[in-house]
Amino acid sequence: MQRTPEPDELMDDMEQALAYARADFSEANGLFVDLLEGAAGGELNGRLLDLGCGPADIPLALARRHPALRIDAVDGAPAMLDLARQNIDADDTAGGRIQLMCAYLPCPDLPAHGYQTVASNSLLHHLADPAVMWQTVALCGAPGAAVVVMDLARPASELAVDALVETYAIDEAEVLRRDFRNSLFAAYTVGEVEAQLQSAGLHTLTVSMVSDRHLAVCGFLPH
């Protein structure tokens, strides 16, 4: 099935951002945290960059689990960052180690090679040019940095899209069902992401399916 890009890259509509922030992504977020901890060999420390952080559920989960971790969480949508700010301010212990940054990627102002871990969940399919993701990973990751980029994988057919929406979003608000559907059409396949990594020269990163609807790129940047 052909890819259909997202109507908008940023999630800057407040209704859309609120529906996303209120939804329960605990299963996918838990999978992402497991992949990241697996890649890092357990304990995460140093500086982590989260690209397309949304309402900051993942940065908060990571900061709670890893007391030595400092996180820069980047998003280009002020509406989403307002919700992230509220979530972070509500957490007295972990929230203080998360810095929110409003930046539209590609952003050359991010610290070059400043991060021991580069993470991103569910951003890749939003990007009109996926090379932006891999340029940012290569620019910001320190030598040997752990990298985990997880996203939806585009199903083979519209029927398969409909089945996933029915399975995972049947009780969700209409705006969220629409967004999930758009995201599945906009997602990349494992083969497309392999080609993106080749073009970016990121030969140490590998991509595989990690659930019935998610792919993940994992590995380390060269030393």
Ligand X SMILES: C[S@@+](CC[C@H](N)C(=O)[O-])C[C@H]1O[C@@H](n2cnc3c(N)ncnc32)[C@H](O)[C@@H]1O
Binding of ligand X by 182 (CB under 6 A): no
Q: How far is the CB of 104 from ligand X (least distance, A)?
A: 5
Cα(222)–Cα(181) distance, integer angstroms: 36
Binding of ligand X by 151 (CB under 6 A): no
Binding of ligand X by 105 (CB under 6 A): yes
For residues 191 and 179, the answer to whether their CB atoms sit within 8 Å is: no
In the set 16, 44, 66, 76, which binds ligand X (CB under 6 A)? 76
Q: Give the DSSP letter string of 54-78.
A: TTSHHHHHHHHH-TTEEEEEEES-H
Question: What is the torsional sign of CA 52, 83, 19, 76?
Answer: negative
- 24 closest CA partner among 126, 163, 172: 172
The size of the interface with ligand X (CB under 6 A), counted in residues, is: 20
Binding of ligand X by 122 (CB under 6 A): yes
Task: Write out the H or E segment, with its range, that includes residue 79.
Answer: helix 78-89
Binding of ligand X by 121 (CB under 6 A): yes
SS3 content of the chain, % helix, strand, coil (to 5): 45, 25, 35
Stretch that binds ligand X, among 33-41, 119-127, 157-165, 190-198 (CB under 6 A): 119-127
Closer CB to ligand X, 25 or 168, in the complex: 25
Binding of ligand X by 75 (CB under 6 A): yes
Binding residues (CB under 6 A) for ligand X: these are: 9-11, 25, 52-54, 57-58, 75-77, 80, 104-105, 121-123, 126-127
